[in-house]
Chain A
Amino acid sequence: MEEYPEELRSPPVSLVAVVGCGELHQAITTHLHSQQPPINSLALPDVSKISFLISPKPKTDSSSSAAVGILKRDWLQKHRTRIPSVIAALFTSDRISGDPAQWLQLCSDLEELKASIRARNIRLVLVVVHSHSKDDITEDRMLALRKRAEVDSKYIITFSQNDAFELKQSLHRLGSIFAELANTYYKDEGRKIKTKIEKKSFSSIELSIRYCFKVAVYAEFRRDWVEALRFYEDAYHALREMIGTSTRTTIQRLVEIKTVAEQLHFKISTLLLHGGKIPDAVTWFRQHNTWYKRIIGSPEAVFLHWEWMSRQFLVFAELLETSSIAIPTISSVIVGTAERPLTEWEFHPAHYYQLAAHYLKEKRSSLEFAVSMSESLGEVDSSAESVVPSTYVGQFARLVEQGNAHVMQPLTDDEYTRYAVAEGKRFQDSFEIIALLKKSYESYSNLKVHRMGSFCGFQMAKEYYGVGDFSNAKPLFDGIASLYRQEGWVTLLWEVLGYLRECSRKQGMVKDFIEYSLEMAALPVSSKTGDQLFGFKECGPAGPVSLQQRKLIHNEVFGFICGELELASSDESANLKVTVDNPLHLEIDVVSPLRLVLLASVAFHEHIVKPGSSTSITLSLLSQLPHTVEIDQLEVQFNQSDCNFIIVNSHRHSGALVDGHQGHRVETASSLSLSTNRWLRLTYDVKSDESGKLECISVIAKLAPHFTICCRAESPASMDELPLWKFEDRVETYPTKDPALAFSGQRAIQVEEPESQVDLNLGLSGPAFVGESFLVPVTLASKGHAVYSGELKINLVDVRGGGLISPSDTEPFSMDTHHVQLLGISEPEGEDESQQDTDKIKKIQESFGLVSVPFLKCGESWSCKLEIKWHRPKPVMLYVSLRYSPDSNESTAQKVNIHKSLQIDGKTAIMISHRLLLPFRQDPLLPSRIKPVNDTDQSPSLPSNETSILIISAKNCTDVPLRFQSMSLEVDGDDFGNSCSVQHGGEDLSDPALVVPGEEFKKVFSIIPKTNSSKIGLGNVCLRWRRDSGLDEQSGTTVNSVLTKQKLPDVNLEVSPLVLRLDCPPYAILGEPFTYFIEIQNQTQLLQEVKFSLADAQSFVMSGSHNDTVFVLPKSVHVLSYKLVPLASGVQQLPRFTLTSVRYSAGFQPSIAASTLFVFPSKPHFKMIDVQDKRIKSLATE
């Protein structure tokens, strides 16, 4: 696009001229420029200069002159820069109103001006510049001026510059007049030519094209884009007709037509694209392309055609690129006619760049041909020097000096061709092509269109290759090759690899050269594919894709590998040969394209093997090279380097030449030849002494004395298919003979640990109880191994998962955080501790312990005890693992691990419950009992200052008998001691009580609360117990006693206002009367009125009042006494007594048990012995 002249590239702008009053020109020019649309202006200092600008006599009759060309080269430029549409003559007002001499001068200036513009029909504007506000011009003068100038009165304007505002107004007025007149000028000019077209008053088709072009340009001046487009199209079509009519056009003629067509097309495309009609523009371009593509012209100048085609694409691509920046939503406007739909790619500039490059390549090849032709003819291009573009667009002529003048002399076609060839030789097309392709490549890459991008890249790389720039070509080729590899386009890959091979050959890169060659030789090209693609002309340096070629490459590359051939590099440097000094080593990993060349699959026959015992390993090698390859030596490498071994080809191996490490095993194979697509299977034994993973890492194949390939070993089970070959229709073979191994074989094997010969025993005696230090004996007994540097690891893990820490208590320093705690590890006594302490590791944490085991000889044993304490009932897994080495050499020896685990339940041993009782037949009236409160919620109440009885029972919940050593009530804090007196507390049981499973142990305490507070804590029950460990038990020595504490709940204390006591003998005898006292004690300071009643009972005869109301004095006791005679024997109900306190409005009745009495039929006889003892001793009931 840059090649075009400026006047063609930008839309034309109206041109005006300003004459006279030079001081104002700057302001006027600037103002006109800023107008919308802008106006260009020419500034002339005075009228006399006008003749320089405008030739006084334009061509009188263009139609009559013989049409030697289509468009004049300078016509457009002339109208844009030299011929104004309007001339404004500026006169100062004093010149008009001045003396006659001035006036006469003015008139003559005007005449001159009129004369020069008349022929061209240029409009005239008179501008009277008022220099002072007082200037005054008479009407007569103005009229005279108007008549002289022959202009309409409205085109005489005054221009005042007194102040900024007036100046601005004047400028504005001037601007609008200019715009109007310029418009009419261009319209008139256009119309004039249009009538010529309509009347068809032209002698030749060239003129019709020229007229159309002019009309279009005038329309463009007026910004009438629609008309401009129409006439450009008309011109274009007329031009096409010209080709159609003239049967045999000369070279120069064709060049001219195409140049004009190009310009017209450029104008049309620009107008379409600027109008936002991108699909139209694309369609137009497509038509343009199809019309002219076939007009190649005469064969000797065919390169001109290709150059022209290339330029069309390039220019359109550039146009599209600039307009697509302005219109971003290009993809949404994709439409197209139904029969010729537009594809999306036609909207991408990249497409056009690519084709421009394509045509430029065509041009280059035909130009080369033309150059070689001209050189072979021995022509000397001396004639080319004086050839210049002539007056018509697309024409060239020879400039000949004739005396002082230069004369254009037309060229013959031959001369022109020579000139064009000479011109063409001056340019380096390759760089141009690369630049175009690069644009296309980058554009496609940005669009993530990789394949088209790669194609462009490929062409680019070929160009680089062509100009010998291998360092640029190679990375491009490499990128493209990887795409083709990935997608399996073998033929395309072949071509690219061929270039790569040559690149590396020319750059002298031996390793790359051999890699590419090997890959090419191993490509899946069969004779079948070769048939179809046989005889490519453009098959690149690699030659045609065929099996034959593969074999050739194979032979060539093995010639290099064996050092027989040398790499013929461009520069004659050394080390291009594989020799002793310059050995070559290739690496093939699992993603390498060279897997085709050599694939190593390694499978162990077993998954697990015992240390020291041997297992079979199958090594399978596959190559797709077309010829059979003989391997000198194979080295198999493992992660345990002791297992590495070497396989030597007995045919090739001379005997003494085993290179490799000394200690390695050397196997000999009868044949190590790899034929195409056939697995070479080798099975050997491997023995490892080291436990852990044994993995085959790589196989190093030595193909020639100085050439090795290191191939990463792959497991058959997880082996990827061969790239490229996987798409081929071929027989699948397995790497191993055993198909199961082919599917499941692994290149790694697990070597087991040596079997442990030490017993680890965990002794256990039943469940553990909360609170006790539970002992778990651990015994180690060596059976076959001595134990060196043994370590015992102990772990306590919650069975239900998670830690042994309750989530609520997370403070690390608190000892109670662990529900189960490893307290310690007690080692057996009597061993020499002095020696132990030196190297003993002993580390104990809450749930983890580590203890070192002393050296044990064969047959010895060692034991320790783990002390574990449960704080909460919880099942726990105990893991104990022993790690030792059976050998004294610690650094090399294998460690042996033994693991044991055991689940231990922690249980609650004892359930403690309690009961509170009042003394027999004594009932305090407690106000809280009267109130109807929800009973379940109520904590028990005790009368203060009264004796209450507390019974604590402890039940053995375990499966083993327990011995209770003591039970006591422990008070916490001093206040309890003051507030409450406890009897029978804290005494040890002289003889520990045996409590069998399920049995309950009870102890009675009497409590007298002595405080005034309403609540009282009863303290903790402390129960000291231990397991009953059999008959000959020595208490306290082996089994430690456990102290279980349980806090008793708080009780309410109340002062009872009334206390009712029933007093009667412990028993009665049938028929014998006895006295039944009922005491009502008033403990308040108030007089208490109580009502009582005594119901009759069947078994007793009673004397005394049944009902009454009595007043009990404060702090006194009222006694009611009844005489009763029992009438029946046995347990009898005494008459029921009911008391109602008026003050508390509470009825009150002793319990039935309290009012029951046993009646003997006759007087019994008791032996009263040692009553005192029996009372102390606690009662154990079932």
Chain B
Amino acid sequence: MIVCVAVVGHQNNPLYIQSFTDADDALKLHHIVHCSLDVIDEKVNNPKKSGPTLNETFLGLLYPTENYKVYGYLTNTKVKFILVTTDLDVKDADVRNYFRSFHAAYVDAVSNPFHVPGKKITSKTFAERVTNIVKSFGFSSAA
């Protein structure tokens, strides 16, 4: 189950962060998302370490915390998507699919002429779409 998704801007500032959990750990998820930026920085600045993923937007598993797994995705405009999930057995293909549809939703949201690039995304449509994507996570490959 996806517990948190986030869009992080150029200055590592959160543009959109949404948690899908009933428990009161949203703040903890914020911390996890924030810490995972370190891993993204490391991956982006030292691309040679992660040789095969060169030129790929999907950054893979960023780091495992004790209960969560954090995945990252870097768009070509250097906006970062972060996914926190509680599933310990996640298929890479699922995550890739998720990010692909999330990216499409993001592109649609920022293409809104009333959206100012670099500002937080407040679109309700985007939030709804993200919720749908999150809900359908994991079913696409099974189907």
Contacts and interface: CB of A to CB of B under 8 A. Distances in A.
A926 to B, nearest CB: 88
A989 to B, nearest CB: 89
Given A358-B66, A449-B38, A487-B11, A341 B60 contact: yes
B134 interface: no
Nearest to A540: B27
Interface string B71-114: 00000000000000000100000000000000000000000000
Nearest to A528: B122
Interface stretch (A295-303, A343-351, A574-582): A343-351
A538 B27 contact: yes
Given A344-B42, A729-B120, A488 B13 contact: yes
Interface string A1093-1114: 0000000000000000000000
Given A343-B39, A451-B38, A729 B119 contact: yes
B27 A539 contact: yes
Nearest to B23: A537
B14 interface: yes
A536 B24 contact: yes
Interface in A875-903: none
Interface in A515-537: 528, 532-533, 535-537
B25 A538 contact: yes
B119 A343 contact: no
Contacts of B60: 341
B49 to A, nearest CB: 7
A interface: dominant SS: helix
Contacts of A1058: none
Given A343-B63, A728-B120, A331 B49 contact: yes
Given A488-B14, A491-B30, A729 B24 contact: no
B136 interface: no
Interface in B97-143: 115-116, 118-122
Contact of B35 (A346, A452, A488, A728): A452
Interface string A337-360: 000010111100001000100100
A492 interface: yes
B50 to A, nearest CB: 9
A31 interface: no
A727 B19 contact: no
Given A532-B19, A536-B24, A455 B119 contact: no
A537 B24 contact: yes
B62 to A, nearest CB: 7
A966 B30 CA distance: 102
Contact of B9 (A449, A532, A727): A727
Contacts of B30: 489, 491-492
B8 to A, nearest CB: 9
A334 interface: yes
A355 B120 CA distance: 32
B14 A532 contact: no
A449 B42 contact: yes
B1 interface: no
Interface residues of B, number: 36
Contacts of B122: 528, 729
Nearest to A289: B66
A1047 interface: no
Given A343-B64, A455-B31, A532-B19, A538 B24 contact: yes
A450 interface: yes
A533 B26 contact: yes
Contact of A343 (B15, B25, B31, B61): B61
Nearest to A458: B31
Interface string A258-282: 0000000000000000000000000
Given A341-B61, A343-B61, A450 B38 contact: yes
B118 to A, nearest CB: 7
Contacts of B118: 726-727
A728 B16 CA distance: 11
A1163 to B, nearest CB: 115
A495 interface: yes
A532 B18 contact: yes
Contacts of A536: 24, 26-27
Contacts of B120: 727-729
B24 A489 contact: no
Contacts of B116: 729
A343 B12 contact: no
Nearest to B24: A537
Contacts, number: 92
Interface string B35-76: 101110010000001000000000011111010000000000
Contacts of A452: 35, 38
Interface in A629-643: none
A492 to B, nearest CB: 6
A341 B60 CA distance: 9
B79 to A, nearest CB: 13
Contacts of A455: 31, 34-35
Nearest to A484: B34
A351 B70 CA distance: 15
A46 B53 CA distance: 71
Nearest to A359: B66
A203 to B, nearest CB: 37
B13 A492 contact: no
A539 B88 CA distance: 27
Nearest to A539: B27
Contacts of B9: 727
A729 B24 CA distance: 26
A526 to B, nearest CB: 9
Nearest to B12: A487
Contacts of A334: 49
Contacts of B49: 331, 334, 344
Nearest to B19: A532
A358 B25 CA distance: 15
A491 B11 contact: no
Contacts of B13: 487-489, 727
Nearest to A338: B92
B14 A489 contact: yes
A965 to B, nearest CB: 84
Given A345-B63, A492-B27, A538-B24, A451 B35 contact: yes
Contacts of B19: 532
Interface string A475-496: 0000000001011111110010
Contacts of A289: 66
A757 B24 CA distance: 79
Contacts of A486: 11
A458 B60 CA distance: 27
Contact of A488 (B11, B31, B42, B115): B11
A936 B11 CA distance: 79
Contact of A492 (B25, B31, B121): B31
A358 B28 CA distance: 12
Contacts of A341: 60-61
A293 B65 CA distance: 13
A449 B37 CA distance: 9
Contacts of B119: 726-729
A602 to B, nearest CB: 26
B101 to A, nearest CB: 22
Contacts of A331: 49
14 contacts: A334-B49, A343-B62, A449-B38, A450-B38, A487-B34, A488-B13, A492-B31, A532-B26, A533-B27, A537-B24, A539-B27, A727-B13, A728-B119, A729-B121
Given A451-B38, A533-B27, A538-B25, 4 more contacts: A341-B61, A346-B63, A533-B26, A727-B13
Interface of B: 9, 11-15, 18-19, 24-28, 30-31, 34-35, 37-39, 42, 49, 60-64, 66, 88, 115-116, 118-122
Interface of A: 289-290, 293, 331, 334, 341, 343-346, 351, 355, 358, 449-452, 455, 458, 484, 486-492, 495, 528, 532-533, 535-539, 726-729
7 smallest CB-CB distances across A and B, nearest first, come from A488-B13, A537-B24, A345-B63, A487-B12, A451-B38, A729-B119, A729-B122
